Amino acid sequence: MLNLVLDAAPRFLFFTGKGGVGKTSLSCATALALAERGARVLLVSTDPASNLSEVLGTRLGNEPGPVPGAHGLMALDIDPMAAASAYRDRVVGPYRGVLPDQVVEGIEEQLSGSCTVEIAAFDQFTALLSAPGDFDHVVFDTAPTGHTLRMLALPGAWTSYLDTNEVGVTCVGPLSGLTQQRARYREALQVLADPGKTTLVLVTRPDAGALQEAGRASSELAAIGLRNQVLMVNGVHPGLEDADDRVGRAFVARQREALGLMAPALAQLPRESIPLMGRPPVGLEGLRSLLQPEAPDRHRPASLGEGLAEQYELGLARLVEEVTHRGRGLVMTMGKGGVGKTTVAASIAVAIARQGVPVVLSTTDPAAHLISVLGSESDLPAQLSVERIDPAAATAAYTAEVLEGAGAGLEQAARDVLVEDLRSPCTEEIAVFREFAATVARAQEQVVVLDTAPSGHTLLLLDAARSFQREVSRQSAEVPPEVEALLDRLSDPEFTRIVVVTLAEPTPVHEAQALQEDLLRAGIQPLAWVVNQSLLATGTEDTLLAALAAHERRWIDEAARIGGRVMVVGWQPAPPLGADGLLALVGSAPAAALAG
């Protein structure tokens, strides 16, 4: 298994794809297999919401450390906040005691924004590409697709920006502080594009949405010169048994249909299928079983799903009723990539709009696939308005506004500094944040359902609330009122309902727990958890699916212990796409429960 990447593996391997497709499992299994073949391997996570420690079964830090039980394997999590602190110290350090304290304080203030978090983590990433040490292989477990595409495009963006910067300053400090990085970014770009040094592993599942996103990612990577790609289709059901089980038949049929509709360009890539496992591949033994799959246990306890409907809400009906009755306010779906946040958000919005209540459905996800989930516009309720925070449009509007406002009265030299500042790749983060705050403000008058980006990206967005006022003041001297009110609105349970979406698996539940803890520290209390795509709720008797379902009850109970209120949404035989498919998630009895 994984021979596509293990045979003749290059020095650098990047695993990317839609959240939840199994990037971390496959990158960890690949790194482990290479190490067990005698290579020196470094496994790196660039995901702000990394679960590398969870999958490897050991706690990792911001520096390479050994993985117990795996000789030759080292691993690290790039912690964005720790990287930002180290970056600030490195940039500011040479000026302490040389420049006046007031000037040094000004530089520190400039480096306190969200831009610094991004460039600092990116700086560590490029350092590993340009100076990988004595490792034979460096395996990158990257963030979900939209975030990863931005990261892989940054070497070119920053190189171009620094090459043409004539004013000596940047949004992340003095230009002189980036002199060394300029050469590193150029080298990183060359390494990424060299098929003899780097392979990009596009991980997907036999699912229409995941395959569509893999196709988009493949095209966008090729457009920036990264054509050395292979495709891994993870979680393929063999389709050999349990022909009488309705859920099993539907599961296999959906997979085969999705694979048959794969984009031609994607289908032409070198490809390997990874079979569906009967248990989550967690820990070294779990990863080794992924490399050598075993037949699932055919025994299915008779009481597997007993008491589920009595103990938990099945479907989203009660939540929809509560929001509809109020008629306004914000609903935010949050969680790790791949757990179905977009589907849950769209289902809630469509159901409320069907009751005649005006709803705005929007997304902050850079890899948004909201339109594909909603299907034909003609089938949607008239009361539903669908929007997307477009990063390019938001950045253009923000830049024009700042130049017309704060830039209008500046002398040419000062205006040049401002223009250069706005040209930086980081300006997009500020612009998107402002649009996010404006969308939240609209919930004062109507229902707004917000499909957020994967949790790490979203938490960086929320953390930015604390520094965003300084960023906007520095560029435009004007803080929008919706930004000033944002944190108060998000922490008001009468205004905001946070729904944490997860799956009945160990990693998604623990990731959701970490997300909830971060929200609580920010004074934001989630309303409920949604355990999505539950096989346990279907009553399936398919051997493989029942083996997976047997592991679910423990994690549904754990979700209730952590989150309190839990809604369980069953896996649906028909794809939850379009208005009717989405409404199936709302009903108190999942359609899939009719298995048999």
pLDDT by residue (tens digit) across 548-573?
898 899 999 999 999 999 999 999 98
What the chain holds in terms of domains, given with CATH numbers, is 3-286 (3.40.50.300), 308-387+443-457+478-594 (3.40.50.300)
Q: Is 47 a catalytic residue?
A: yes
Active-site residue, from 24, 30, 170, 502: 24
Distance CA 200, CA 27 (A): 11
**Beta carbons within 10 angstroms of residue 275's beta carbon:** 14
Q: Write down the pLDDT at residue 471.
A: 56
Q: Is 22 a catalytic residue?
A: yes
Active-site residue, from 17, 19, 20, 581: 20
- The tokens for 244 are 């009488």
Write phi, then psi, for 516 (nearest 5 degrees): -60, -40
Task: Look at 423 and 35; give whichever has higher pLDDT.
Answer: 35
Q: Classify the phi-psi angles of 149: left when phi > 0, otherwise alpha if psi is within -120 to 50, otherwise beta.
A: alpha
Q: Write down the pLDDT at residue 590.
A: 39
DSSP 437-489: HHHHHGGGTSEEEEEPPPHHHHHHHHHHHHHHHHHHHHHHS---HHHHTHHHH
Q: Is 507 a catalytic residue?
A: yes
Is the alpha carbon torsion for 120, 121, 123, 128 positive or negative? positive
Active-site residue, from 16, 18, 19, 25: 25
Q: Write down the pLDDT at residue 183.
A: 72
Do 313 and 566 meet the contact criterion of CB atoms below 8 Å apart?
A: yes
Q: Is 198 a catalytic residue?
A: no
Identify the weakest region by mean pLDDT among 108-112, 434-438, 521-525.
108-112
Distance CA 420, CA 403 (A): 11
Distance CA 161, CA 422 (A): 11
Distance CA 452, CA 431 (A): 16
**Beta carbons within 10 angstroms of residue 117's beta carbon:** 25
Task: Look at 466 and 202; give whichever has higher pLDDT.
Answer: 202
Q: Is 587 a catalytic residue?
A: no
DSSP state of 1: -
Active-site residue, from 30, 47, 248, 502: 47
Tens digit of each residue's pLDDT (9 = 90 or more) over 7-44? 889 999 999 887 778 889 999 999 999 999 999 999 99
Q: Which pLDDT band, with edges at 50, 70 and 90, does 474 fall under? A: low
Tens digit of each residue's pLDDT (9 = 90 or more) over 272-310? 999 998 888 888 988 998 888 666 555 555 456 667 888
Mean pLDDT value of segment 327-337? 90
Enumerate helices (H) and strands (E) in the chain, giving the number of each: 26, 18
H-type helices in 93-132, by residue range?
A: 101-110, 114-130
Q: Is 23 a catalytic residue?
A: yes
Distance CA 460, CA 452 (A): 12
Active-site residue, from 18, 23, 336, 341: 23
User: How do strand 65-66 and strand 73-77 relate by DSSP bridges?
Assistant: antiparallel
For the full predicted model, state whether its pTM sits above 0.75: yes
Q: Write down the pLDDT at residue 325.
A: 93
With CA atoms as reference, report the closest residue to 347 among 394, 389, 301, 384: 384
Distance CA 376, CA 365 (A): 21
Q: Is 25 a catalytic residue?
A: yes
Distance CA 366, CA 148 (A): 10
Do 302 and 46 meet the contact criterion of CB atoms below 8 Å apart?
A: no
Mean pLDDT of the chain: 81
Write phi, then psi, for 249 (nearest 5 degrees): -65, -45
Do 211 and 240 meet the contact criterion of CB atoms below 8 Å apart?
A: no
- The tokens for 461 are 């967005």
The strand pairing partners of 74, in sequence order, are 42, 66
